[in-house]
Amino acid sequence: MQANNSVVIVTGSGTGIGAACAIDLAKRGCRVVINYTKSETEARATAKECEAAGAAAIVVKANVAVDADCKRLAQAALDQWGRIDGLVNNAGITKFVPNHRDLDSLTAEDFQRIYAVNVIGSFQMTRAVAPAMQKQGRGAVVNVASIAGVVGNGSSVAYAASKGALNTMTLSLARALAPEIRVNAVCPGFVETRWLQQGFGEQVYAQAKARYEESVPLKQTISPEAVSDAIVWLLLGASLTTGEFIIVDSGFHLGTAPLKAR
């Protein structure tokens, strides 16, 4: 995909990874659709940063768990620019239950709510943009999954399960939509976002961040910008890469360091 004048929809792009990605794409000459469900002020601020970078941007309120909203979001891009070149399925939710032994803290309704956004929403958005990409003969989708979906750890069992499902769906859609559309995923580790701070609370967040930095090989937590780097590469480069997961976790998935001989 050529960066200049490409049209990319980034769901959940008012804050965090989505905002970083939208701004990064704008700096590279892409026209961007900023999406939000609640964070309108932040979404408009993200759009202003995109415009300051010299790119056109529109802001669209839509809930990806609602199929009609997904179709409307895709249509907004087509109405504005007549094409869709990329989609970043970044919108996601969780219920914070860090103690995975506490099974009673999750209900069927929790699972259904989380899956509705993290898995079904990503499917619905991909389905909504696919006809335009197929008509053009090219397109790229990047799903923002999580290391939780690889190692089965994270903010809750339901969240980890949903991200595992998103990884599996990435493989299925990569097969189904080839050769016109490439579908890949990124799997971030501990990302420095307001979302995580609010979910854990300041004290627990600080403790978890310190433990992560101490334990991972690269001794760093993950910035939204670092995740955006991987997303943008999968969108604008990686022309022969599909059905792949890019892990951005400072080596968390490697586990503990190997023993050293004395």
Q: Residue holding tokens 């022969």?
A: 240
- Report the distance separating Cα 230 and Cα 13, nearest Å: 16
Instruction: Check: CB of residue 122 under 8 Å from CB of residue 184.
Output: no
Question: What CA dihedral angle connects 35, 36, 41 and 43, to 10 degrees?
Answer: -30
Give yes or no: 36 in active site.
Answer: no
Please say whether the beta carbons of 98 and 156 come within 8 A.
yes
Which one of 36, 115, 159, 212 is the catalytic residue?
A: 159
Rounded CA gap, 231 and 254, in Å? 21
Residue 191 is classified by DSSP as B
What backbone torsions phi and psi does residue 85 show, to the nearest 5 degrees? -100, -30
CB 20 within 8 A of CB 90: no
Residues with a known catalytic role: 159
